[in-house]
Every structure is written in C-alpha cells, then in structure tokens.
Amino acid sequence: MARLFALDQNFPQPIVAALGRFQADATLVPVGAIDPRLSDVEDWELLLALHHHQDPWDGLVTTDTRMLRQGPELAVLLQTKLTLVSTRASGNNPVKASGLLFAYLDGICSRTDPGKAQVWALNSAQRPAADPWDLLESVAKHQHRDTTDLYEECRLSDAQLAIDPLAG
C-alpha cells in the first residue's frame, strides 16, 4: 500500500515529478496542493491539519530540520502519530534534499507504522576521498595476503599500461 506524504514547498516539483514516476511506495503531494492555506500556518498547525484532513496522511516530508528541536511540533507529532521525514545536512540545496528523500523513501515507506509517531532524519555525510591503497590493503587483509604481493600480482606492466584497450 502506497504511503501518503505531504511535501513542503522547498522541494523542486519538476525533480519530484520526474523521480516520483519511479516510486510506487509513496504519493508525495505538495502542501499547497492539499490546501493553499497550509503554506502559511505554523509547522505544528500543518501537522494537526494533516491529522484532521479527509485523506489518510502518513506524514510530512520537510527540509526544515528546526522542527526536530521545537517542542510544539514534536508534541503534536507524538499526539497525531504522524511520520516526519526531514532531510538533514542538505543545507539550502533542494536537489540534494530530493536525492536524499528518494534514496531512502522506499525503506521509510516499508517501515512506517501508522499507529506510532516516527521521525526519519535523513543525512548525507560529506566524506573525504578514499585512498585506493587503503582499499587494496583491506582486500589483501580479507584474503589473508600481503598488500604489496597482491599489488604486484594485479598491477599492469609498463607495456600493458601503454596500450589503449579501445585502440586497434
């Protein structure tokens, strides 16, 4: 059964519409399309309105992480038993927020419990590049081998390295 989520206005509709075609687990409806007045209410009032709406809303998807630190919003969330999905660490980048949402949405939908308030704080860590030698070392360790021996076995000779595999 597809989950029904209200989507705050910070998500770009062209991206959501394009990616939504490949997402069968959820229906995402912009808050303004539910009722234009919802764009002007406090966050706790938005949650309460979704709770009272004629459609069976599962929750709200937002880029507003402040909701996770607001007493009224959290109290109403607990009382209404809605799900709140927040895209943390996406900053003011709506493309990144959309990517985070669609990367995790199927798992959220399969684990959403309509009888229990839930918060999904989606995060995208900015990590430094990995050193290939460290990765090779991990492979060697897994194979109970010496890293240098594995490298020497797998490396190309200078002559092999000089040949373009598409030439010829």
Q: What is the pTM of this model?
A: 0.78
Query: Residue 53: CA atoms inside 13 Å, Cβ hemisphere, count?
Result: 23
* Residue 59 φ/ψ, nearest 5 degrees: 165, -160
Amino acid at 138: S
Q: What share of the chain is helix, strand, coil (3-state, %, to 5)?
A: 50, 15, 35
Q: Which residues, at least 6 apart from 89, have a Cβ–Cβ distance to it below 8 Å?
A: 123, 124, 125, 126
Tens-digit pLDDT profile for residues 99-147? 899 999 999 999 998 889 999 999 877 778 788 999 899 999 999 999 9
Best CA proximity match to 135, nearest among 145, 125, 147, 124: 147
- What is the set of domains in the chain, with CATH numbers? 3-122 (3.40.50), 132-161 (no CATH)
Is there a contact between 10 and 34 (Cβ–Cβ < 8 Å)? no
Mean pLDDT estimate for the chain: 90
pLDDT score, position 90: 58
